[in-house]
Amino acid sequence: MTSTQLTIGEIGERETIARIMAVAPSSRNGDDAAVLGQPAPNSRTVVTTDLLVEGRHFRQDWSTPEEIGQRAILQNFADIEAMGARPVAAVLGLSAPESTPVDTIEGIARGVETQVAFYNAELVGGDVTGGELLTLSVTAIGSLGGSAAPLTLDRARPGQQVVASGCIGYSAAGLALLSRFGRDGVPKELTPLVDGFVNPSLMPGRGVIARATGATCMTDNSDGLVVDLGTIAARSNVTIDVESAAIAPDELQLRAADLLDVDPWTWILGGGEDHTLLATTAHAVPSGFRRIGRVIKASAHGVLLDGAQPSTTSGWVSF
Amino acid sequence: MTSTQLTIGEIGERETIARIMAVAPSSRNGDDAAVLGQPAPNSRTVVTTDLLVEGRHFRQDWSTPEEIGQRAILQNFADIEAMGARPVAAVLGLSAPESTPVDTIEGIARGVETQVAFYNAELVGGDVTGGELLTLSVTAIGSLGGSAAPLTLDRARPGQQVVASGCIGYSAAGLALLSRFGRDGVPKELTPLVDGFVNPSLMPGRGVIARATGATCMTDNSDGLVVDLGTIAARSNVTIDVESAAIAPDELQLRAADLLDVDPWTWILGGGEDHTLLATTAHAVPSGFRRIGRVIKASAHGVLLDGAQPSTTSGWVSF
């Protein structure tokens, strides 16, 4: 038996942890708890957590272990960025059947390490246990510098413009393609849409930049554009009018929609899981963002598309 | 159908989250991420995470939902205390089958709230998703005040005494009783042992006190006394000699051992899961601790019992 066929049940809990720590080394890891570095003066700690369960959030025939690890970190770091904060650390809980190949766990750890390194953050601790379904639990820790308010859901104000950084509706399009064709069957030119699902990306520091340039409210597009903007509308007691021209399906999405014979607007309005940052600001569009609409009323009438009710208003839920 | 029979599949993800937040309210919860309070000057953030999986870490016929929630927080807060830090916040990830009663989830949330409130900490966020096995993922955030070093595993020194705060071998005794008799069949007078398993307790602040009074090294008894002290011995390159008289089975453990016809020393030396704090100090025994041995050599020969090899050297692993 070669080492590639070894399972975590065969090497045991301690050796599995050792393998993860070898892939994602950190001097802060390995004690009862991790002590983070001395924080910048006048900064606050920000924390968020997400569970990813096999069959619900990812499938191993669609995503590589590396992609699963990268996505798990990305979606947590997006929540940190969405407060206007900077991700500094993550911890990883892994529950997996004893029959899971060591290679799979090492691959996930590599993906985690790749993503935390991209953000100049660190995997500082974790836990490994048996279980029925491969499950990842990530908690991300961020640092919110300065005394300015964090970018909360309740601070959108009439007159502001709505801005977005990143693709909208790519993840849902990718999921639809994978569901129909499987990973190997998706036409090559549509790979960016598949990547939107298996390995979404977010340029580090966009949340910090938006906060520094006067944005007041931010979230990430995780449950669907209309749902997430609707949450802002409800919490801030405003109405948000999205401009269809700014979020219209691009060439790739149109080709995928044509291939699958579906309306690409369902992906854009209802898809979610893109982890695009959505913000409101009374100032210039922050670097890396684009305008997608405006905040129009001091009373919560939800989300409009070009002034009318959008065709899709529901989004992604796990059950 | 009464509300007590409702399942989380019936009320859905959003309402399940709303129910948890109603039981454990926090003004920091409900945004993309939680912003913690301004930290004390010159303090550092400490973080740890643990997964608890049904059937491996708890059983619903042995533990109430409240106890499952309390234990999940306790074992994470013990890791924060074991650094000499103070727990300030926790996040909770919950994966559960759609058939899980809402009451079960609310019970877990009540247990979580009870324990975080006992520590003057706060549940600041979480995530809920479907899954096959009820799984709790807790991440605890602590605050390490001042510039003194944290209580790490590698700072035991020859000449120090070894001290402990809390019961040793109660959790394993409780587990053995539950395995034989079930929750309802355990003789009433042995309840404290069962509590050691289903709801271990740890007086808040012991870790901070130990650090303030000169302890240098600390861990919590989670994998088993010999294993955990052995980790300290290996990391610190010392030998630890435990005094049997200080950890000998008490009246309750002797009665339980008699009833089950087993050697109670296997619980004490190998049991783990007690979350007793174990520390080394060259100073007086800190308040709330008792002496259980000494650090004797500047080379790692592991753990001795009265100068000899202990009868049990293995401990608890999840797979």
Q: B22: domain range?
A: 14-144
Lowest mean pLDDT among A27-41, A262-276, B1-15: B1-15
**Least CB-CB distance to B319: which of A92, A130, A135?**
A130
Contacts of A60 (CB under 8 A, 6+ apart): A54, A68, A104, A134
C-alpha closest to that of A102 among A13, A199, A27: A13
Structure tokens at B268: 């004490």
Taking an 8 Å cut-off on Cβ atoms, the answer to whether B135 and A95 are in contact is: yes
Same structural domain for residues B130 and B166? no
Tell me: pLDDT of A290 over 90: yes
Tell me: pLDDT of B1 over 90: no
Interface probe for A, chosen from B29, B94, B139, B235 (most Cβ of A below 10 Å), is B139
Instruction: Answer whether residue B110 is part of any domain.
Output: yes
Same structural domain for residues B27 and B88? yes
Taking an 8 Å cut-off on Cβ atoms, the answer to whether B83 and A32 are in contact is: yes
**Least CB-CB distance to B56: which of A34, A130, A319?**
A130
Search chain A and give the residue with CA nearest B131. Answer: A53
What ranges make up the beta strands (E) of A54-190?
Answer: 86-96, 122-130, 135-145, 161-165
What are the residues facing A54 on neighbouring strands? Answer: A58
**CA A73 to mean position of chain CA atoms:** 8
Taking an 8 Å cut-off on Cβ atoms, the answer to whether A153 and B31 are in contact is: yes
Specify the 3-state DSSP secondary structure of B276: coil
Same structural domain for residues B165 and B301? yes
User: Of the candidates B144, B175, B198, which is a domain's last residue?
Assistant: B144
Which positions in chain B touch A8 (Cβ < 8 Å)? Answer: 319
Interface probe for B, chosen from A26, A47, A202, A222 (most Cβ of B below 10 Å), is A47
Same structural domain for residues A125 and A94? yes
Same structural domain for residues A139 and A263? no
Percent share of chain B, pLDDT over 90 = 92
CATH number for the domain that contains residue A208:
3.90.650.10
Contacts of B245 (CB under 8 A, 6+ apart): none
Mean pLDDT (whole number) for A242-253: 97
CATH number for the domain that contains residue A84:
3.30.1330.10
Percent share of chain A, pLDDT over 70 = 99
Mean pLDDT (whole number) for A166-195: 97
pLDDT, one tens digit per residue, over B131-184 is: 999 999 999 999 999 999 999 999 999 999 999 999 999 999 999 999 999 999
Which pLDDT score is estimated for A4?
57
Instruction: Answer whether residue A151 is part of any domain.
Output: no
Which pLDDT score is estimated for B300?
78
Which positions in chain B touch A14 (Cβ < 8 Å)? Answer: 317
* Kind of pairing between the strands at A86-96 and A122-130: parallel
Tell me: pLDDT of B193 over 90: yes
Instruction: Answer whether residue B218 is part of any domain.
Output: yes
Which positions in chain A touch B90 (Cβ < 8 Å)? Answer: none
Same structural domain for residues A170 and A69? no
pLDDT, one tens digit per residue, over B168-178 is: 999 999 999 99
Percent share of chain A, pLDDT over 90 = 92
Taking an 8 Å cut-off on Cβ atoms, the answer to whether B139 and A79 are in contact is: no
Question: How confident is the prediction for chain A on average, in pLDDT?
Answer: 95
φ, ψ dihedrals at A204, nearest 5°: -60, 140
Taking an 8 Å cut-off on Cβ atoms, the answer to whether B129 and A51 are in contact is: yes
Which pLDDT score is estimated for A41?
87
Tell me: pLDDT of B317 over 80: no
**CA A229 to mean position of chain CA atoms:** 16
Taking an 8 Å cut-off on Cβ atoms, the answer to whether A141 and B141 are in contact is: yes
Q: What is the 3-state secondary structure (H, E, C) of B144-183?
A: ECCCCCCCCCCCCCCCCEEEEECCCCHHHHHHHHHHHHHH
Please report which confidence band the pLDDT of residue B4 belongs to, taking 50, 70 and 90 as the band edges.
Answer: low
C-alpha closest to that of B268 among B205, B204, B183, B176: B176
pLDDT, one tens digit per residue, over A181-221 is: 999 999 999 999 999 999 999 999 999 999 999 999 999 99
Instruction: Answer whether residue A292 is part of any domain.
Output: yes
Same structural domain for residues A194 and A133? no
The position carrying tokens 């920091």 is: B28
CA B231/CA B243 separation, integer angstroms:
18
pLDDT, one tens digit per residue, over B80-116 is: 999 999 999 999 999 999 999 999 999 999 999 999 9
Binding-site positions of B for ATP: 126-127, 222
Instruction: Answer whether residue A229 is part of any domain.
Output: yes
Instruction: Answer whether residue A155 is part of any domain.
Output: no
Tell me: pLDDT of B36 over 70: yes
pLDDT, one tens digit per residue, over A59-86 is: 999 999 999 999 999 999 999 999 999 9
Same structural domain for residues B286 and B171? yes
What strands lie across the sheet with A302-305, from one edge to the other?
A215-220, A277-281, A161-165, A290-297, A239-242, A302-305
Burial class (CB in 10 A: 0-12, 13-18, 19+), B201: middle
Taking an 8 Å cut-off on Cβ atoms, the answer to whether A33 and B9 are in contact is: no
Instruction: Answer whether residue A94 is part of any domain.
Output: yes
Please report which confidence band the pLDDT of residue B311 belongs to, taking 50, 70 and 90 as the band edges.
Answer: confident
Mean pLDDT (whole number) for A119-137: 97
**CA B110 to mean position of chain CA atoms:** 18
Specify the 3-state DSSP secondary structure of A124: strand
| ∠ CA A110-A114-A115, rounded to 5° | 120
**Least CB-CB distance to B45: which of A39, A132, A319?**
A39
Taking an 8 Å cut-off on Cβ atoms, the answer to whether A319 and B142 are in contact is: no
Which pLDDT score is estimated for B234?
96
Taking an 8 Å cut-off on Cβ atoms, the answer to whether A139 and B92 are in contact is: no
Question: How confident is the prediction for chain B on average, in pLDDT?
Answer: 95
Binding-site positions of B for Mg(2+): 32, 48-50, 79, 127, 220, 223
Please report which confidence band the pLDDT of residue B301 belongs to, taking 50, 70 and 90 as the band edges.
Answer: confident
User: Of the candidates A114, A145, A176, which is a domain's last residue?
Assistant: A145
**CA B319 to mean position of chain CA atoms:** 19
CA A229/CA A221 separation, integer angstroms:
8
* Kind of pairing between the strands at A161-165 and A290-297: antiparallel
**Least CB-CB distance to B50: which of A30, A127, A131?**
A127
Taking an 8 Å cut-off on Cβ atoms, the answer to whether B317 and A13 are in contact is: yes
**Least CB-CB distance to B36: which of A47, A79, A91?**
A47
User: Of the candidates B144, B175, B208, which is a domain's last residue?
Assistant: B144
Same structural domain for residues A288 and A185? yes
Same structural domain for residues B248 and B217? yes
Burial A124-161 (b: 16+ CB within 10 A, else e): bbbbbbbbbbbbbbbbbbbbbbeeeebbbbebbebebb
Instruction: Answer whether residue B5 is part of any domain.
Output: no
Search chain B and give the residue with CA nearest A91. Answer: B49
Mean pLDDT (whole number) for A39-49: 94
Per the CB < 8 A criterion, the answer to whether A160 and A280 are in contact is yes
Lowest mean pLDDT among A299-303, B170-174, B187-191: A299-303
Search chain A and give the residue with CA nearest B95. Answer: A51
Helix axes B8-23, B102-118, angle to 10 degrees: 20
Indicate the number of domains in chain B. Answer: 2
Taking an 8 Å cut-off on Cβ atoms, the answer to whether A49 and B220 are in contact is: no
Mean pLDDT (whole number) for A110-134: 97
**CA A105 to mean position of chain CA atoms:** 21
Same structural domain for residues A294 and A168? yes
Same structural domain for residues B177 and B131? no
CA B319/CA B305 separation, integer angstroms:
27
